[in-house]
Structure 1
Amino acid sequence: MQYFYNSRLGETRFTMSDGGLLCKDVPIGRTGVQLYGGEELDDIEPDSDGEILVERTEDEVFRPETLASFEGMTFTVSHPIEDVTPDNWGRYAAGHVQNVRRGSGDQSDLMIADIVVKKAEAIKVILEEGVDQISSGYDAEYQQTARGKARQYDIIANHVALVPTGRAGKRCSIGDSKRMTTNNTWFAKLRRAIKTKDAAAMEEAMESAPSELTGDEGTGELPKAINITINPQQPLPKQEPELDAIATNDSGDIETRVAAMETTLAAILEKLGSTTDADPDEEEEGRRITSDAAYHQDVVSRAEWIVPGIKLPDGGKLASFKRTVLDAAFKTTEGEKLLKGIVGDKPDFAKMPKLSLDAAFIAASEIAKGRNNIQLNHRTTDSAAPNRRPTAADLNKQNAAFWAKKGN
């Protein structure tokens, strides 16, 4: 579609002859899995975290009726509290959406549109305040496929909203902008990306950590030497571990990605620092999550990847168990190699803040499992390890004795 414009503001933004703003080639929706709160879908049973993973397939997103329903729909600043109708259009409209189509190439999983913004306040929010993420408002049907999982179908559009943080993430946003990311929102995005196994979102999160976490001022990006390449068009295998992008049959590629991830997380965790003050929420959260069977099993499984054979004592707190696992691993040759790139040379796991502890524990477990896969695929025989430091298995008895003395 051709447009007439007075000035070009960037690769995808233009000032139109009447002063309006044209935003071309804007992703307004995508296929894949997105995370919903249990309160958002009344008829779907959430998982143990109170959340629901909702899958929308390309057959549904690019259904002719769905694409046609977005054509000409109202563009709003934030989601209205009600559906947009002819009766309230004047109150909510800031522009409209047109030229809706499926993307091509590396955008083939995206619904693309051009957005014409006419309201002065909306133009200011985009150009001066930097708000640029997109969230579509629509009606849809949902079918439960498992506990905490559902599929979405029969999508019919109502409006497209400009929002500070969209469910589809940065991929669905107006281009030509720079963004500032806070610690809390960054960790929330990273958690969402891991849970939905969204490779593109994981890569985005790794490349856009807040500057106060990485030490880079101004850009909010990670050091240029770090290059984590994940192809968003390749679906991640089902039932694989989180951060599954490190699992591949090419051992050299795995090691490169593991090294990059270790460097990334080390920079982040170093900036998080340590403190002697106990987290006041740690004990309360410990009581809550210890009673959650799914979370409990996940922690135990991850601990096994890091320190094979280690067991959670009856009544043991999960946070304390994580500290013990990491500490035990660091005392072994392989464990030190695993953790050094994440937590540095002299970590103090007993004083490590809970946020740093959780990040280190998850990262170490994923890397450990990835390396276990390498060892299984490239196993050698007739090997020996003389003069080695104690292994994880060697320390299991010590750990058991420690917990037996410590009690509950």
Structure 2
Amino acid sequence: MRFKDGAEFYTVEQLSPRREKTPEGFLLCKDVPISRVGEFDYTPLETGIAGKGGKVVMSRSEAELFKPETMASFEGKPVVIGHGQFADPDNWRKISIGHVQNVRRGEGDQSSLLLADLFLQDAEGIRLVEEGLLTEVSCGYDAKSIDDGNGRGHQEGIVGNHLALVEKARCGEICKIGDGFMKPKSWKNALRRFFKDGDEEGFNECLDSVEANPVGDDGQGEPAPAPTAEERLDAIEKSVAALTEKVTAMEKPTADEEPPEPQEGAEGNEGGEADPDAEIVADEEVEQVMADADELAPGIAKPQGDGEGGKFTRGLVGRIKRNALKLSGNKTFGDSATLDGQALDVAFKAAVLLARSKNNPTARGFGDGGQQTPARPSNSELTTKYKTFWEGK
């Protein structure tokens, strides 16, 4: 266990060079690039500027991005999942999964980047980051668009509103929650997930991220000759074969196979591991799922618990999520009947967030991860509008 005195946050576990955890399980993500200097493609709808070829090239200068007012405007702002809506006191509790802090300009080769530390406190948000499902980040902010002509413009008066976890950030993979390395357990879990999901690209990327260091008797003498391409391929094939064998052994029997006989004194499948669908779900989680399901499909019926003492099992909770997705008519994530595990969890949560964004008209600003809706009037504009109205009475 690692203790740190004098740190801004008290953490007891370092997951990687840039990720730490508090005793409660909150996640601290350090040195995250949240924006950068440069040019970005937007639509005419987002900027209010006539485009060229259906797009507007907007530039963000050092002078604007690193203004003290700009950086200060992002301090303490909420971290959210996606750019569903701009944050305000009415919706903050629903959408926030943490907050932004320690906003500053990068140094050296990061001098064109705006860096910040993220403090994540929501279990779902932490899971999405730790499992690598959402690690790119995108600023949501208000700014004045200046038309430079010929489909180009620049931004002034940037005021931060939130920071969103997104699949693809507009400023590219550079705006991403860093890791540095995977712990062996996380690496193995990632390989198993990629293999089970049939994600060949993710599986190969995970293998490529592992650094192999040759070990000698004393580390002295001539370095070992580099392996040939055939030797490397053979080694990789053997590693993949071994991993495949292990993962296959972990899989449930198919419908054509006889399930293994349970060992005396053990519950569930062979090896004493319980059936994940039979796991009892905490009442708090069930209530949250039902609340989200009702938001996604209003009036959805709450079934009776199928576990001991009327409790809900993991399998039943999954069926509730699939049913809510089906009743909502949301086809964004494919056929809900085919979703399971993490894919179902992410699709359900994302569908709920989409439903909320449709029910809550949003203010137009800039979201570096996607298109925003038309802007609401500023406070000064509203004041002028009301003053004009009453003067005419």
Q: Structure 2 length as normaliser, TM-score?
A: 0.45
Q: Structure 1 length as normaliser, TM-score?
A: 0.43
